[in-house]
Structure 1
């Protein structure tokens, strides 16, 4: 029985694919595990079938960035891969339009078998904007001869065919029911063509095309479909007309599988030297695979920095998985991290559950509040970091994982090591790259920029048009230490949005604890005449009489400052509204 028939008997639809080749052929199931393979595969790597069947492809060969392409169902050809120090080339194509339902075919060949000039996919990744989404945007890549070397299913869907059927074809004749591709023209001219109309599969689409250069030399071109039908633009315009009167919400980067980057480095607001240095370090270390330990007080933005590292790394199209070690009960933490097999314990979900480590395979796992992890789990985490393998609860199957670890803490881990509550070996395993996130009080100049950013965000959320803060309110924020850092500042601005009566936030609109903590700025200053009058009364009036007169004048000044609003005056004075009414009656200020 031939290999092709063997694959069909296993339940895979090969269509009209010809599998008669000396190449190494591997059929992957929906989980990217090896379902079957030909004899050439076993000869190449020197392993028996039972040693590789059922294992993930990434456990057999080192895929690097290609792992995330396979996970997302992106078809590619002629990509270099090294096995035992020898360079080979590989192809991949899903066996259907939905790679998560149909599986895929992975082909490995020697250099002399390659009939398509190599154009490495990283050339495309360097050319594309970091916000591009390989899983959802309609993308195609060709080499200098016009051969399609990478295409994803969204692009093929526009043409109404399977991506794997287009791989390796010349783009000049590959589009059915369409105008000829202009990617060869782009390579001839070296000029990009952005947002141009093009007939694709009988529909008028809007596309962009870009040349690809490596070290100043043309190596290919790539294109993407912005709109598969111009009618989408009309529908978008209608939505925009309804939205245009509202402030624009901040844009977000995108990542694979249709998810959005929650943050990237541009999301870190700050122009102080400390923050500029921090952002430079984040971008630098993002390119390395080493573990990172983020240290800083609560609310300084450690998770935001972890997202920024992931978004700027080669793993940005793979998952970012967050684990709060303090929020998960000790008895559940192991099953959350490692996952479990069906029947592992009473109440276990049918079919089991994939753990956080395995979810982060190919991507980044963020272990927040790592200092709160129990010692027993610390030992198990150390083994995962050393072996890069996990075994789900109730299972004997060990699974290899490829993930980057970013951990965070708001306590001094060295002290935890000294008192025995944190393992020394784990500390040094995590503390390969240590970054200290500065607290807000050490970069007070950034308070202005962060506050402006927060105002823009709350204007969009609350559908308001607050312009800013008055000078006294700004002075309160600048003088406050913000022990809760950016999180506390955000809460303060949100509180002010609920109190503000006009387009300017005043001191009285800010939370009471901020006004109280800034000493003399809590209350309006008395003018010179009032102060002189109080000083002149010393020796002529009793202390109680002077205190009463000072309180009366402060109440009067507070009412003047807030335009007679008694609720805001009470907030400025730090007393309740009924308490204010009593004092108004006492001093005959009604």
Structure 2
């Protein structure tokens, strides 16, 4: 059975090969062609518009219907054109291979034609290939309508639509023996024609499935080109991204959302002292040097190659409000840090007896889930201590959140702390907002300046503590939470309770483990240690190298009582670094009000014995306050050491 293109395009007719119907159809088609060629008839009703329009264009092109010889590429031109269209050829090869037997047994030829109409490749029936070559329509020939007359290829290029041309529908008489089906191949992105797939068969071998098969093959070619380009783009992206990463001064490690390492630049490999193959497809914590970095939210410090200090920081990669991975940024760190092989976080700085007692109590408190109340003056380091407790606890892998109750307007504190549902009040976010308890679930929530919390919020907080569940403002759903609360205050909460400004029942709930953080004036022996620490970190951030303090300037710092505590000391050190003209901070670099206190002090003359003071302070910290060891190190008696302690104000 052969499916033939009807004279009436509204009907499809099948004729048996060699049947009278086929002979009649071909005869009528031949008559229409001859009538048109002789300009005796324009068969508008009998022919499909695409064929008739093409015949009319061929007349305008003055194409000879009897002996057309289309342009032909010489071997070098063909080679160049194949190279230009190699992408399409490479995509076609596996598609043709998958249907090779079907093409061969159906006596068809498949040709790949470029966008200008040149035949680049042919596959299938060898007899048809030989015949087309004899007719000058083989590989290298141009089947464009302007040169070959009406063909399926020419119409497909002109109309950008799949088409078939049967028998005498071909304008050139040489091609009347063929049935052709052509389907354009489009660029997957630009949608330009990048080729045409042409099925050619002798009339008696035309098959009904030719059009469907050609369209499927063309679609497969387009998909293969898309896949190949995507793969090539990905390789290019990986190569160019890696090249850019390797040019950066900082080390970079790229993690996926499961913390598997996907990429690392040369700087990161150098910092870690590892080979790139050791990193790929491993989790970050699989690396021994990073095995103790459990909470990515906090920076991590290691001793890198050649003993260089390295700081690692985490930065999430967010797409459409969802974390899809993260970057680990590595850079040189000149500050002295804790040993990365230890499982302990950096300790808050201080060697005084009073501070060591606080730290010991805090470490004990960290092992339990009881609420903690930290009392201390402003700037004394309450949040630092709270973070330390969290990091020493079993909750260290989970979030640590801090909210300052005194910095948020009282009418907004409730919505910030407890969250709210959509429509809870005018101006509320759509979809609402989660509470801090939800965000800190499994971890620790610091309520700083808790004494400033308004009464209505105190009632709500008490309920959350008692029920271990939170209900957002404007909502009715109770959400279970597991949060350890650390409260901090710079006021005496007992006095606030007695004055009626703070609920007694809430105070008792918070005051399970109480830590009193001494002010800096009660731990003056920590001032040298803290000051040197601030010099190290601030010199780097200010990009100004300062080595330390003169004996007189350090004496002035110790003589001052620091009402602003550690925060004031840090600001003073920063000012001194800015004012310093050399690499040692002199007393003249300090604020006048601090120097004045030092000059007015009764023992100011002795405090100015800078060399001895520096020597004594170094020995004191080296020996951790042990009198016998200090005396042995300085080659003096124990009474002398005790006298110096009193002289320099060290308890």
- TM score, norm. by length of structure 2: 0.43
Larger gyration radius, structure 1 or structure 2: 2
TM-score between both structures, scaled by the size of structure 1: 0.47
